[in-house]
Structure 1
Amino acid sequence: MLAPIFTRQMAAVPVARGKAEHDMQFEITPNTAPLPEDQRIEAFKALGFGTLFTDHMAVVRWTEGKGWHSAQITARAPFALDPAASVLHYAQEIFEGMKAYRHEGGRVVLFRPEENARRFNESARRMAMPQLPEEVFLEAVDKLIAQDLKWVPEGEGSLYLRPFMFASEAFLGVRPAKEYIFCVIASPVGPYFKGGAKAVTIWTSQGYTRAAAGGTGAAKCGGNYAASLIAQAEAAAHGCDQVAFLDARENRWIEELGGMNVFFVFKDGSIITPPLQGTILPGITRKSLLQLAQDAGITITERLYSFDEWKADAASGNLAEAFACGTAAVVAGIGKVKHTGGEFLVGDGQTGPVTLRLREALVGLQRGQTNDPYGWVRPVELA
């Protein structure tokens, strides 16, 4: 049995972020034609994922020799891009995914946004893009939320935020661009997977790989996801919700899913998750669950775990549960695994108790239902 992780109904620890340390000022230009309020309210009755967008966006530009400039909160609108824009030809693009939650009493918070800002710059370094000061990243997110505050859902919904950056210089030479645009857009969302705590079905790709050593697997760049889409389509054709990738060298070791990290829970209560070796995205949800599991007294090991082990441990009953995690899906139990040679159940095919307990602990922190001893929850700066 898991030890209790946190007590209930204690306020999150308010950690002051402080004022931005840069000289740039965001110019705020309200949208003069926002979505009519009755349409917004109606749309909130059935929130999907990533199909509804708020009225505004944050934009900051970078030019070689000038640096970051022209910070704005403005009406959400298309970009005017030259057909020779570097991003369209060489895919210099990175992004992040994060959520804002409305707590009881109306306070709006973010979950570990500094981790997103830090990872964003790690991705930028790998993709030969300029570093964005973390305080600019955080201020852009805060100011966008403040402008579109009514778009943060109550209850089980959340406001999904998508900070991204792309090369906008018009040229066809193969080199890092000299002009970039950083932008943040926002989308009120419901659950990523339908069916609540229902376990998902996974397709194991044995013909496609996601990343190789020395590649961009640890960066959150669009190219990684583009390369995974054919395998995701293959998974959907086999009636699966997500695809699991094996390593590129031996086609043997489990790495991660198309958009999530993966954990394996054994009958003795211990957990294994694949290690970060440059081919796996260092998930913030993953990092948080590692801490929560350790503090709950769970033995957790980061080590290579093969697909053959997965099948054998599931067949013997040694593997009790498996789950995937990420910002969008939070934590989702894995009930069935399909592959070219057949299929197998994990445990009884349902979301297991360890998975549910860790999910409850994480969601409780995010939504202010439990105390926050880590200072992970940050109030949005509305001023």
Structure 2
Amino acid sequence: MARQRDTITADNGLTNGLEPGEMPRDATTEHRLTLREASRDGDGNVKRGEEVYRLAPDMLALNQDNVRDSYESQRAIAHIEGLMAAYERGDYVPPLLVQPVANENGQYVIIDGAHRKIAADRVVRERGLKLRLSCMAFRGNSTEQLMYMMTSAKGLALDEIEKARACRKLVNRGMSRQEIASAMGVTVTWVDSRILLADAEPEVHQAIRDGVIEASVAIGIVRESGIRAAQVIRRLAQKARQQGRRRVTGSVVNGPRLSPKTANALLDSLRTAYEQLDDEVIGKVSDWEAQLKSEDMSDDELKNTRIEISGAALMQLVRGWGVVRAFEEQQQIKEERRIRRLEAREQEKAASQHTGTGEREAPENHHAGVTERAGPGNHHAGVRDREEPAGHHTGDGAEENDIFGVVPLAAHQRSGQAMALH
């Protein structure tokens, strides 16, 4: 049974059992329970979950076992700057996940939220803003922590190299490829390819991060070329530049792909031509292949050898070649158009730089790409990370800096002793 609203006596205005901060309502209106009230009803439908603690940024430590190996890439810097702007505005930012027991320095190691920590440090240092970050304790062993880092959707997505190295770490810790694939919702083939990438040379990793080559293309080259992969990528990158391309794609490696329509037309011509050949002709071709392999016949001798085939077979071969030529001409037209577009962009860029209008405009909204931010209007009391004045009371009626229920946060910082998030 849900509790009915406690009433207010009209003659004296005294409240009866209202929550701290709850405004009196009409005596005839049914009470709408707060989540805290509902969790105390005892029917089990609403239960309080993990507690959220609020820590000063210097109480948090980056995880040395983090799957991220760099916070200085262009995308990471843009993400951090977006978070800084969110902190300055007092926007809602999701809680960090931290290990429940402090390390030897009295700090809590971050499982998820490294960019939020770095952004908070910069805001405190560069803007003089006082912050406390919402944090929750993560329960799980080191392998579970690593898996969470890989699958978390709260922060900046891992790049291909970070995913690959995380897969390698999980395998080294005893997880099978099938277990990793099931946990991540991917195929075993995907896991195998990332482990292959993790074991590749650093030059291959850097080429992917620099945008020189697509990760999927690099994986194929590593699989085919092994330790020569970096050398092959360098050669293909030069080829791509000569073609006016910015990076190595599948078309640079394999050439243009035939459309299904073109491929079917070519296959039909070849199939029909082959069916027009008699057994004697096919037998002679097999003999020539054997003689070439045994070096009993040279290429020049084969060129001077004549054989009689039907006009129908020859016609189909010519038609097949016509399909190939039409495809090549179409690709040539596309390539010429692409080069013209590239040249036009380069000319526009040069013209804008010459007139002084080529300066990069500032982003309209730094926080637009912040994936850690909740929707607009979600700025509830007690959720913002901007520090309130000293002595401010939280919704629990406790002092804000007494978040551990033992001694104030400042006292913990002075003692430097290890603490646990209960």
Question: Normalization by structure 1: what TM-score?
Answer: 0.25
Which structure features the higher share of strand residues? Answer: 1
| TM-score, reference length from structure 2 | 0.23
Q: Which has the larger radius of gyration?
A: 2
Higher helix share: 2
